[in-house]
Structure 1
Amino acid sequence: MQLLHTIKELRIWRKDKDFIGFVPTMGNLHNGHLQLVKEAKKQTDHVVVSIFVNPIQFGVGEDFESYPRTLDQDIEKLVDVGVSAVFAPEVKELYPTPQVTFVEPSDIQYQLCGASRQGHFRGAATVVNKLFNIVQPNIACFGKKDFQQLFIIKEMVNNLNMPIKIIGVETGRANDGLALSSRNGYLSDAERLQAPELYKILQQLQQAILEGDNNYTNMLNQATTHLNTHGWQVEYLEARSAKTLLPAQVEDKHLVILAAARLGKTRLIDNIEITL
């Protein structure tokens, strides 16, 4: 496995490679990330994983400085799953001058997670665009846990005519159902025990909808009240069309229920898809 720190090194490595899979990450890798790598390996000759904590997708007061950076441990995990190359640039490598050119996603960027994280999706789309230009992959794998991000990246690739197939990979979960996330490490022991409740609520909503309940507003309000009275601070809990990410209508046949909530100081996100 090659460890590459500069764009020049990556492009030299890439030059004689054919079919490339790509997994962009911010490091602190867990089994969810490794699932993305394994999916990419099924479909390509070589897999590149980037490890880069992207400053322009963090807002004021967010955890950019404290975000866990565990490069040595990450490399060990990637060697074990047979990654061909790791691209781990410094900030000055990707942003040698102030960034004045950005990818501006659709208005979906201001909803859901974007409502409280202004500029987040613009920053994420911009860095992914940079990484696509550098790596020039044939496919790229993203986790469905970040459903809104996956939607925005697919939209960007389609709108900008990029010759890249975007693959959404099912959310990796702990045995108790908690969606795997680097931020799970922020949870206290007591909070970690409580955290799977968010996914259980999503499963209950899924079951109710599959059984014919289409009063989405009422059921989501009840679930939100339950969480808020049991130690959570719900940021949003919404039913959306999985195709458009617009608010769900009764006639929609492919839905996604998306949630973001804080447990203590830790912000958790999750979602569940429903096909009627």
Structure 2
Amino acid sequence: MKILNNTKDLLSILESDRESGNKISIVPTMGNLHPGHLSLVDACKKNKSKILVTIFVNPLQFNDTNDFKNYPKSLDKDLKTLEGENVDYVFLPNTHEILSEVPDMVTLPWGFSNLLCGKHRKNHFDGVFKVLKVFFDLIKPDFAFFGEKDYQQCLLVKYMLQESYIPDNTLITICPTIRDQNKLPLSSRNLNLNDVDRNEAAKIFFGLARTIILYFKETGLKDFDKLLPESSKLRFDYVNIYNDNFLYDKHGLISQHITENTANRIFIAFTMSNVRLIDNYLIEGYDTL
């Protein structure tokens, strides 16, 4: 496994791979890896390609300075894990080097600032877009892998490819959310919760989702605020149900990206003990989780 600390080394080794006919799979991460990240690496292995994992804590996507400072880091452990997974390259760029390449201005469709995480994390997706754009411009991956837990981010990646790159040059794969034994979606931030909070968060996510889905199916209404549990250490950002096609439209994805699947999806985000957690489920498949 080769560790690449700057863009010069990255471009040199990618050029050599291209000349040898190798394709490149990329898994962008912010480190503190867990089995959810490793499931993306496993998905890469299905392609005959070199596997490149990026580890970069993007300061532009944090609207809370404390959240950025407290984001868990475990670089030595991450590198050992990736080596054990037979990853070919790990890109560990210098923050200044990456930020010096980001575009000054980004204008994203309405949904990225008015729906879900975009509404509650000001300029979050502008920051994600800017850094992912730098990575994709540098690496020009053939395959890229993202987790479904960050659903709105997946829409952002699809939008970025639609607007900025030749269609079909990069194949995006959205991989299923990986959950712990209590069905809590795995997240690097989970390490900032104690065992009691993690168990309680799992119960809230799954119990609330069940309640909301049953209520929606029975009434067709979306006045979900009255169903939210009250707790001194809980703050809800949103609980809502959206149709996938509605989300594609509001996030600027053109019709060719919209499948015939008009599924509804529930989205939940709350902060517990100063840790922000998100999850989503396809309503039609909820009973199989």
Query: TM-score higher than 0.5 here?
Result: yes
Partners in 2 of 1:272 and 1:230 — Cα distance? 26
Q: 2:263 aligned to 244, 254, 269, which one?
A: 254
Partners in 2 of 1:244 and 1:41 — Cα distance? 33
Residue by residue over 1:105-152, the C-alpha shift from the partner in whole angstroms, topping out at 9 and shown as x without a partner, is 211111211122111101001111110111110111011101111111
Query: Is the alpha carbon distance of 1:107 and 1:182 closer, same or farther for their aligned partners in structure 2, counting shifts above 3 Å?
Result: same
Instruction: Output the amino acid matched with 2:243.
Output: S
Partners in 1 of 2:44 and 2:208 — Cα distance? 28
Counterparts of 1:232-271 in structure 2, within 5 Å, are 232-245=234-247, 253-271=262-280
Partners in 1 of 2:138 and 2:239 — Cα distance? 36
Q: 2:60 aligned to 39, 56, 60, which one?
A: 56
Partners in 1 of 2:219 and 2:157 — Cα distance? 30
SS in structure 2 of the partner of residue 150 of structure 1:
helix
**Within the alignment, does 1:137 sit opposite 2:146 as a pair?**
no
Partners in 2 of 1:193 and 1:114 — Cα distance? 27
Query: Is the alpha carbon distance of 1:216 and 1:169 closer, same or farther for their aligned partners in structure 2, counting shifts above 3 Å?
Result: farther
Query: How far is the alpha carbon of 1:195 from its aligned partner?
Result: 1.2
In structure 2, the gaps of 5 or more residues are: 251-260
Contact 1:216 1:239 in 2 (8 A): no
Partners in 2 of 1:223 and 1:153 — Cα distance? 33
Query: How far is the alpha carbon of 1:214 from its aligned partner?
Result: 5.1
**Which residue of structure 1 aligns with residue 108 of structure 2?**
105
Contact 1:202 1:271 in 2 (8 A): no
Query: How far is the alpha carbon of 1:235 from its aligned partner?
Result: 0.9
Partners in 1 of 2:82 and 2:222 — Cα distance? 43
**Which residue of structure 2 aligns with residue 168 of structure 1?**
174
Partners in 2 of 1:206 and 1:40 — Cα distance? 35
In structure 1, the gaps of 5 or more residues are: none
**Which residue of structure 1 aligns with residue 254 of structure 2?**
none
Residue by residue over 1:183-203, the C-alpha shift from the partner in whole angstroms, topping out at 9 and shown as x without a partner, is 111112321220102331355
**Which residue of structure 2 aligns with residue 5 of structure 1?**
5
**Which residue of structure 2 aligns with residue 180 of structure 1?**
186
Partners in 1 of 2:105 and 2:86 — Cα distance? 33
**Within the alignment, does 1:20 sit opposite 2:24 as a pair?**
yes
Query: How far is the alpha carbon of 1:15 from its aligned partner?
Result: 1.2
Partners in 1 of 2:70 and 2:205 — Cα distance? 26
SS in structure 2 of the partner of residue 101 of structure 1:
coil
User: Could you say which structure has the higher helix fraction?
Assistant: 2
Identity of aligned residues (%): 32
Residue by residue over 1:159-191, the C-alpha shift from the partner in whole angstroms, topping out at 9 and shown as x without a partner, is 223421111111111011000001111112321
Instruction: Output the amino acid matched with 2:52.
Output: V
Partners in 1 of 2:178 and 2:192 — Cα distance? 18
Report the aligned-residue RMSD: 2.3
**Within the alignment, does 1:115 sit opposite 2:119 as a pair?**
yes
Aligned residues: 267
Instruction: Output the amino acid matched with 1:217.
Output: K
Partners in 2 of 1:271 and 1:230 — Cα distance? 23
Instruction: Output the amino acid matched with 1:93.
Output: E
Partners in 2 of 1:197 and 1:116 — Cα distance? 23
**Within the alignment, does 1:192 sit opposite 2:198 as a pair?**
yes
